[in-house]
Structure 1
Amino acid sequence: MKVRKTPLYLTLLGLIAAIFVAYFVTTERISAFDEAIIHAVQGQESPFWTAFAKFCALIGSSIPVIVISIITMLFLYFGLKHREELILFVIVVGGSALLNVVLKGLFTRERPTIHRILEETGYSFPSGHAMAAFSLYGVIVFLLWKHIRPRWGRTILLIIGALIIAMIGISRVYAGVHYPSDVLAGYLVSGSWLAFWIYWYQWYRERRATGK
């Protein structure tokens, strides 16, 4: 069976979209977009949503991500004996984190100051929480997808993964620590990174299966 090139197409589309977002950010032509969404999201401020934003900030922060990553890697290595999937997981999650550091150092965008609910340090673009969420939960969804046969099970898996990723991103805007364009760029970059390595993972698996 020939390896599908859909992940490569998604990689290309994601990179092109991320470049456009970066261009609009660096030329300051995305302010209206950012401000409109910030006001809409922060206009829903309430004690419940503030507590929820803090919870999302927690599960998307470094320590929980590291803990979840370690548990996943141990399960892949010792539980399922899936060495190749372990390598894919490490490349996607670790590479995404390093890529975020490089991009933040390259763009050096300051964080928004409109209304801060939480305090964060460091640069804003692209969102580290958004990138970490997309790479971590995205690759977990991909790895679990292959082991879930019923359509309803896969549907639930996709919904849960999408909700976690979306809520972490939205919570960053709500908390006032990121512009919406930071989150959007984080999704696009991390999504492209994930799709790129999914393609090569499938290519390697197919090549090994056919003995080529």
Structure 2
Amino acid sequence: MKLKSYLVIAFIISVVSIIGFSLISLFISDRKIIHFDRIIINSVQGLETTDLTNVMKFFTFIGSAPFVIVLSLFLLFFLYKVLHHRLELILFVAAITGSAILNGILKNFFQRVRPDFHRLIEIEGYSFPSGHAMNAFTVYGIISFLLWRHITSSLGRWILIFVSVVMILAIGISRIYLGVHYPSDILGGYFASGFWLTTAILSFQYYQEKRYNRNKKQEKEIA
């Protein structure tokens, strides 16, 4: 795919992400989204069982910062030793750390208090946007991007996307189920991460394209 195609796709995703995040943040400021949040929370928490609670605690754990750090270290080793990536390591680290920094900035800017309707776990800190949602979207999004070209079969690629989507959604839903986030926090996290991840990947692809063209030009000059 040419750089122009990446620019078009990235622009569309970025615009959708910015519009989505902006709308949610405006609704939160006007408190117009509380009714929507309560309906979703009641529906999700209405499914509560002991077994489902354990499952949701598992998903919320694998979306936590400590697990993401351990997973990231493993993936860095895999990318470097097995797939022999070099520049991709910079993209991976930039995407993960940038997402965490952006989440901290946004949380402190909006300072939204967490819901207190029916909590199954206790946690402190601000609510919007969800750090777990941003972690999940960024980690599994960047994994899908980096592994895509190493999977040659259509079935394998579909499985990669399916697993990534399931993990992203499951981690987000677990936060609603456990009562520590509003659904709008989760959506806001997805949109914020979508914008950041798109920007990081686009910058990487732009650099790769320029680097490739520069090397080609040097080869022609030498020849």
Counterpart of 1:2 in structure 2: which amino acid? K
SS in 2 for 1:115: coil
Question: Following the alignment from structure 1 to structure 2, what is the Cα–Cα distance between the partners of residues 164 and 45?
Answer: 20
The answer as to 2:66 corresponding to 1:51 is: no
SS in 2 for 1:110: coil
**Equivalent residue number for residue 128 of structure 2:** 125
Question: Following the alignment from structure 2 to structure 1, what is the Cα–Cα distance between the partners of residues 2 and 197?
Answer: 20
TM-score (norm 1): 0.97
Counterpart of 1:152 in structure 2: which amino acid? L
Structure 2 unaligned spans of 5+: 218-223
How far apart are residue 78 of structure 1 and its match?
3.2
TM-score (norm 2): 0.92
How far apart are residue 8 of structure 1 and its match?
2.4
Query: What is the 5 A alignment of 1:136-147?
Result: 136-147=139-150
Question: Following the alignment from structure 1 to structure 2, what is the Cα–Cα distance between the partners of residues 7 and 143?
Answer: 16
The answer to whether the Cα contact below 8 Å between 1:92 and 1:194 also exists between their aligned partners in 2 is yes
Query: What is the 5 A alignment of 1:109-124?
Result: 109-124=112-127
Structure 1 unaligned spans of 5+: none
Question: Following the alignment from structure 2 to structure 1, what is the Cα–Cα distance between the partners of residues 127 and 205?
Answer: 33
Instruction: Output one character per residue of 1:42-94: Cα deviation in whole Å (capped at 9) or x when no partner.
Output: 01111121001110111111111000011111222333331211111011110
Match for residue 79 of structure 2 among 76, 79, 96: 76
Question: Following the alignment from structure 1 to structure 2, what is the Cα–Cα distance between the partners of residues 62 and 151?
Answer: 32
**Equivalent residue number for residue 2 of structure 1:** 2
**Equivalent residue number for residue 161 of structure 2:** 158
- Look at both structures and tell me which one has the larger radius of gyration over its CA atoms: 2
Query: What is the 5 A alignment of 1:90-105?
Result: 90-105=93-108
Counterpart of 1:70 in structure 2: which amino acid? L
Counterpart of 2:2 in structure 1: which amino acid? K
Identity of aligned residues (%): 48
Question: Following the alignment from structure 1 to structure 2, what is the Cα–Cα distance between the partners of residues 51 and 57?
Answer: 10
Instruction: Output one character per residue of 1:112-144: Cα deviation in whole Å (capped at 9) or x when no partner.
Output: 011001111101000000000110111011111
Query: What is the 5 A alignment of 1:32-47?
Result: 32-47=35-50
SS in 1 for 2:76: helix
Q: CA RMSD in A?
A: 1.1
Match for residue 209 of structure 1 among 202, 208, 212: 212
Question: Following the alignment from structure 1 to structure 2, what is the Cα–Cα distance between the partners of residues 188 and 10?
Answer: 9
Question: Following the alignment from structure 1 to structure 2, what is the Cα–Cα distance between the partners of residues 174 and 2?
Answer: 42
SS in 2 for 1:177: coil
**Equivalent residue number for residue 89 of structure 2:** 86
Aligned residues: 212
The answer to whether the Cα contact below 8 Å between 1:8 and 1:199 also exists between their aligned partners in 2 is no
Match for residue 15 of structure 2 among 1, 12, 15: 12
Instruction: Output one character per residue of 1:160-190: Cα deviation in whole Å (capped at 9) or x when no partner.
Output: 0000000000010000000000000000000
Of 112-121 and 76-85, more deviation after overlay is shown by: 76-85
Of 176-185 and 196-205, more deviation after overlay is shown by: 196-205
Of 149-158 and 11-20, more deviation after overlay is shown by: 11-20
The answer to whether the Cα contact below 8 Å between 1:38 and 1:180 also exists between their aligned partners in 2 is yes
